A = this chain, B = another copy of it.
Amino acid sequence: MDINDFIISKADIINEALTIYLPAKEEKPKALHQAMGYSVLAGGKRLRPVLTLMVANLLFKKKEEEVLPAAIAIELIHNYSLIHDDLPCMDDDDYRRGKLTNHKVFGEGIAVLAGDALLTYAFELITQLEGDFTPKQVIKVTKEVAKGAGHQGMIGGQGADIVAEGETVSEDELEYIHNHKTGALLKTAVRVGAILGGANNEELTALTTYAHNIGLSFQIIDDILDIVGDEEKLGKDVGSDIDRDKATFPAIYGLEESKRMAKDKIQEAKKILSIFGDDAEPLIELADYIVDREY
């Protein structure tokens, strides 16, 4: 199966699970539940939860359903961060995935709360792993997700990003922002799959390095797409980073050097997976897929 079709088939599993796990729209409090579902079900590649499933599959051959609560939790956290990120007080974006952003439809107050609710619900979902995994694994996943999404992880990166807006940013600072803002949760997605798959230390370290490199590459390419991408394909405003004078790789290194850096990171990511032999083929193809997104 071609990697595009492979990812779509995994994303379909996630999409189906999302409709099951999300609270029903008709259920009270309705506005909140509608807002939660609106953004989460608006589509997206489901890259993070797909990574969780793929890594768990690489290490053990259990049923995918067992890993789903954790994979869905990570996707909910990703979506909450987008809802808050789109707010007028943050990136002030009107469109996301070709649809109006959450606050444009439901108002800012409900959008803030919908984000809060998705984040909180993610931790409730993780406790549903109990039964299929040991209590210690469940706690380890909780800790991993809280750290990856928290003040030293994703939110830390967003905080540094806001402060950096309009400032001259050093190379180190730019890497900090990107490693945390995008990288942290991708890393969490991979590590949670590894923890649930029963990875040993060597395997966990290798997969963490893989995640680190594809995460950074992913963000570099996002920066590039913001400059040269096709507005219609991306489903969001292009050039908005420049408008806001944001810290980006092309702004510091230029377009060509940024492209080269993204490719280098992907090479590193692929190399580290050699310890898994042929079983790592899907993860290797996924790395190529990330760097080959349309410029």
Q: Which A residues are closer than 8 A to B by beta carbons?
A: 23, 28-29, 31-33, 36, 80-81, 84, 87, 89-90, 103, 107-117, 119-121, 123-124, 126-127, 130, 134-136, 138-139, 142-143, 145-147, 149-152, 155-160, 162-163, 176
Contacts of A176 in B (CB 8 A): 28
Give the chain B neighbours of A31 by CB distance below 8 A: 159, 162-163
Question: How distant is the Cα of A134 from the Cα of B135 in the complex, in angstroms?
Answer: 9
* A48 CB, min distance to chain B CBs, angstroms: 16
Q: Report if A159-B84 is in contact (Cβ < 8 Å); known contacts: A143-B124, A147-B124.
A: no
Given contacts A135-B135, A139-B138, A156-B29, contact A113 B162 (CB under 8 A): yes
Please name all residues of chain B whose beta carbon is closer than 8 Å to the beta carbon of A147 when the two chains form the complex: 124
5 contacts between A and B (CB under 8 A): A23-B152, A32-B159, A114-B159, A116-B116, A135-B136
Bound-complex Cα distance A116 to B159 (A): 11
A84→B108 CA distance, assembly (Å): 11
A29 contact from B127, B138, B142, B160, Cβ within 8 A? B160
A146 / chain B contacts, CB cutoff of 8 Å: 120-121, 123-124, 127
Q: List residues of chain B with CB within 8 A of the CB of A127.
A: 139, 142-143, 146
**Contact partners of A157 in chain B: CB under 8 A:** 29
The count of identical subunits is 2
Could you tell me the distance between the alpha carbons of A90 and B114 in the complex, rounded to whole angstroms?
13
Secondary structure at chain A's binding surface: helix, strand, loop or mixed?
helix
Asked whether, in the complex, the Cβ of A139 is within 8 Å of the Cβ of B130, the reply is yes
Q: Contacts of A119 on B, CB cut-off 8 Å?
A: 116, 119-120
A123 touches B121 (CB 8 A): no
Selected from B124, B139, B156, B158, the residue in CB contact (under 8 A) with A150 is B124
Are A110 and B162 CB-contacts (below 8 A) given A120-B146, A124-B146, A136-B135? yes
CA distance A115 to B113 in the complex (A): 11
In the complex, the 5 A-B pairs of residues with the closest C-beta atoms, listed nearest first: A135-B135, A89-B108, A32-B159, A124-B146, A117-B151
Q: Which residues of B contact A159 (CB under 8 A)?
A: 29, 31-32, 110, 113-114, 117
Pick from B28, B112, B143: contact of A87, CB below 8 A.
B112
Assess the A163–B116 pair: CB atoms within 8 A.
no
Inter-subunit contact A142/B120 (CB<8 Å)? no
Chain B residues in 8 Å Cβ range of A149: 120
Complex Cα distance, B29 from A38, in Å, reads 31
Residues of B within 8 A of A124 (CB): 142-143, 146-147, 150
CB-CB under 8 A from A81, the residues of chain B are: 116
Question: Within the assembled complex, what's the spacing in Å between the Cα atoms of A81 and B115?
Answer: 12
Nearest-CB distance from A35 to chain B (Å)? 8
Closest to A84 in B: B112
User: CA A127 – CA B23 in complex, angstroms?
Assistant: 26
Chain B residue nearest to A156 in the complex (CB) = B29
